[in-house]
Amino acid sequence: MLKFKEKTVLITGGGSGIGEAMAYQYALKGANVILTGRRLDPLERVKCKCEELGVKAWVKTVDVEQAESIDALVEWIRAEGHLIDFLLLNAGISQRALTFETDISVDRRLMEVNYFGGIYLVKALKDMFIERGVHIAVVSSVSGVFGFPVRSAYCASKHAIHGFYETIALEYPQIKTTIIIPGRIHTEVSKNALDGSGKATGVMDPGQANGYDVNKCARVAIKAIARGRHQKVIGGFDTIMVPFYKYVPWLFRLIARNVSAR
């Protein structure tokens, strides 16, 4: 995929999960990578693996909940003279609690991490993005297509992603957007999911443990980005809920009320 050769991709949440797997896919296609996340050690590990694939890689610790942290990233990008060609917004956090058992602070935190952090970064780099026609890929979820039990705040934050990035692509033709819509992928996301009080559950959901391989997910996603797809649903049998929701909504509701939310 020559479109990635010697280009630069900025990845949020690049130290684990889908972000890590996508970093390797970009690197395999010849793209240099800027990896951001909250923890330095995982970022350094991914950086070394990317460099072994023959590309340049940089790391920058960033907390997408904090505007000041994003501002520092933007200042660093400009000071280093980095020109971004692709952006992968992957930083995110999930939830495992019933709606009325979830403190409002948890709702706000999920919106800050999953939605506001990304749009703050995009707006901070808007001049570069407009000038260079940056291709934005954002990791949503099937929960961004429909509601699902014990994920009300998570669903809301992912629904917001769809509205924002679909609109950018309509307003600015030079900017492409790809919304990646994974089902259950085998990552640590459920362990890091917040309970109603805002604490990490520390529990691996059975559905997550048996989820779609993260490296396969990344390979499908990179092809969708290369082809300029606006959306791409990725995953196993659980993703059948997406067409059910669209074409047979009564069946979707029947399944969603009775299927294990874990």
**Residues labelled as active-site residues:** 154
Q: Which pairs count as long-range contacts for 102-106, CB under 8 Å and 24+ apart, including other chains?
A: 102/152, 102/153, 102/196, 103/196, 103/197, 103/198, 105/198, 106/153, 106/194, 106/196, 106/197, 106/198
Q: Do 10 and 174 meet the contact criterion of CB atoms below 8 Å apart?
A: no
Between CA 83 and CA 169, with CA 180 as vertex, the angle to 5 degrees is 60
Q: What is the distance between the alpha carbons of residues 8 and 230, in angstroms, rounded to a whole number?
A: 20
Question: Alpha helix locations (H) across 81-151?
Answer: 104-111, 117-124, 126-132
Q: Find residue 139's DSSP bridge partners.
A: 180
End-to-end CA distance of the chain: 37
Q: What is the distance between the alpha carbons of residues 197 and 108, in angstroms, rounded to a whole number?
A: 12
